[in-house]
Chains A and B, each alone.
Chain A
Amino acid sequence: MGMTMTQKILAAHAGLESVKAGQLIMANLDLVLGNDITTPVAVNEMEKAGFDGVFDKSKIALVMDHFVPNKDLKAAQNCKQCRTFARKFDIDHYYDVGDMGIEHALLPEKGLVAAGECIIGADSHTCTYGALGAFSTGIGSTDMAAGMATGQCWFKVPEAIKFYVTGELGEDVCGKDVILHIIGQIGVDGALYKSMEFSGPGLKNLSIDDRFTIANMAIEAGAKNGIFAVDEITTEYMKGRVDREYTIYEADEDAEYVQTIEVNLSEIKPTVAFPHLPENTRTIDEVGDVKIDQVVIGSCTNGRMSDMEAAYNILKGKKVHKDVRCIVIPATQAIYMECLKKGYLEAFIEAGCVVSTPTCGPCLGGYMGILAEGERCISTTNRNFVGRMGHVTSEVYLSNPAVAAASAITGKISSPKEVK
């Protein structure tokens, strides 16, 4: 029996000829990632267990992005602990205020992740790098500690669902709508413990940013990882960023999939996930009258250049509704700079938005946009759980950047068509 793309990468990293679904393996890691909230717990675990060293200082990335610039004293202490650890072990890829960005936008941009690699990160959205054809998955702080100390991680080899992609995206539709559509179809545990493997003729119509967004939210369907077949779009993106050898893995012809789902991009409409689960999806024409108090455009899901461009195209020359606070957060310093050079920031500010330095802040109810009792937010982030962005009675609606920007103008969830 042949192997899926994920199984091939895992086999290669476990030093095995082949693996099969359900098998427990120990895999060698190409990169271990942590952020300012998960790294302190990992560092404490390492110290408690008596480890005084890391397996490879060039294969660890620490990104201060959740609560920075430090939101309070505890956050300041946590970042200080990460900084001290990074200096002590001379960690090559330590990103702090000034050069940091949201981790899952930053690592691909810096060329730290590549096709065929085996990556763990103490952040659930680490599955983002599957967009480049890597096996990449979220783990907790203890796995991160063990990974930093030993360079290895245990895995149960996953089964896979094949998503056969056809067609092309319509106007105002992007990767976010594709993944929300899929989660709406299969549910928040529809891919539990499994890989989501994307292939088919429609991939050529999905930009690398669309793929990052889709792979990013594989976790919201319960998946272990989301992974895309590597093509010219992938290799073009890695060119000039990844300066080391990488391996392109392809699924075997006779690889076993527990299910095959066809995704016709041409049929997907702008999609909104209603509270309080990402599976509660409605297409934009089914939304009805939903007034909003806040808009967030950013995050590891939708804070990349194409997302900023989609928001800019809607917001330029327009005004944010008087009852709405619109927060725009470019995901990295490079994206921020490009927005500056292209005049996007000026357009956002003239429209009445606030533009923040990179941070995960509002997405997880950390800071920079906490919701009060009963408030509603439409957000390009990834989760709309109870209390996710603030008070337990507040509500989060998930959408793409064009829908979020249009809603900022009208004050209610709106199709981009309404404001063009």
Chain B
Amino acid sequence: MKAQGFVHTFGDNVDTDVIYPGQYLNIPDPKAMAAHAMEGIDPGFVKRVNKGDIMVVGQNFGCGSSREHAPLALKEAGIDCVIAKTFARIFYRNAINIGLAILECEEAVDGISAGDSVSIDFDTGLITNETKGETYQSEPFPEFIKDIINKNGLMNSLK
């Protein structure tokens, strides 16, 4: 499994209230959620993002609420992978469970800038910054989690 796209960057402690504001939690359809992705911190995000883009963020990304609306909105908005220094734990498992690829790699977050073109090999955990000609090695997932991701989410893996 691979991903390749352009990068959008955000800082530390980006919480689920800014990723997906509480007033839209009455929307149960993921496609409709996408219109409000990152609205609390960057209202222009949805217009700028293209299918296959990658987010590069700081520490504790997705802290706060357990709302799965947050990773669902990002996935439906077109984000293929989020690379963070660290993820908040509920966002981490939600992303895996719904099939949104995520990686923890401090070196990559420090090296990558907004607008860079980046490709990712999920089998090896290698992240390549095509714009700057750099590579960063992230820890690949354990087999158990890889299996959930490869089957495109937890529910599919239970079938």
Contacts and interface: CB of A to CB of B under 8 A. Distances in A.
Interface of A: 24, 37-38, 40-41, 44-46, 48-50, 66-67, 71-72, 74-75, 78, 81, 121-124, 126, 138-143, 145-146, 149-150, 154, 188-189, 192-193, 219, 222, 224, 277, 364-366, 370, 383, 385-388, 392
B40 A66 contact: no
A145 B17 CA distance: 23
Given A48-B155, A49-B159, A387-B40, A365 B23 contact: yes
Contact of A365 (B22, B153, B158): B22
B17 A385 contact: yes
A364 B22 contact: yes
A370 B59 CA distance: 29
B13 interface: yes
B65 A143 contact: no
B17 A146 contact: no
B126 interface: no
Contacts of A142: 68, 94, 97-98, 153-155
B28 interface: yes
A268 B21 CA distance: 33
B114 interface: no
Interface range on chain B (Cβ under 8 Å from partner): 35 or more
Contact of B21 (A123, A141, A277, A365): A365
Interface stretch (B1-9, B47-55, B84-92, B129-137): B84-92
Contacts, number: 134
A192 B25 CA distance: 25
Nearest to A146: B154
A72 B63 contact: no
A192 B86 contact: yes
Nearest to B98: A142
Given A138-B66, A192-B60, A78 B28 contact: yes
Contacts of B75: none
Given A141-B68, A145-B155, A41 B28 contact: yes
Interface in B47-82: 59-60, 63-69, 71-72
B65 A124 contact: yes
B97 A140 contact: yes
A277 B63 CA distance: 10
Among A66, A222, A385, residue most surrounded by chain B Cβ atoms (within 10 Å): A385
B98 to A, nearest CB: 6
A74 B26 contact: yes
Among B13, B15, B68, B71, residue most surrounded by chain A Cβ atoms (within 10 Å): B68
Interface of B: 13, 15, 17-18, 21-23, 25-28, 40-41, 59-60, 63-69, 71-72, 86, 88-90, 93-94, 97-98, 142, 144-145, 153-156, 158-159
A48 B142 CA distance: 27
A262 to B, nearest CB: 25
Given A142-B94, A149-B158, A192-B88, A40 B64 contact: no
Contacts of A72: 26
Q: Give the top 5 A-B pairs by smallest Cβ distance, nearest first.
A: A74-B26, A140-B94, A49-B155, A364-B22, A140-B68
Nearest to A141: B68
14 contacts: A122-B66, A140-B67, A140-B71, A140-B90, A142-B68, A142-B155, A145-B155, A150-B158, A189-B13, A193-B89, A364-B22, A366-B23, A386-B18, A387-B21
Contact of B17 (A143, A154, A388): A388
Contacts of A392: 40
A38 B68 contact: yes
A388 B67 CA distance: 14
B60 A67 contact: no
Contact of B22 (A139, A193, A222, A388): A388
A386 B146 CA distance: 34
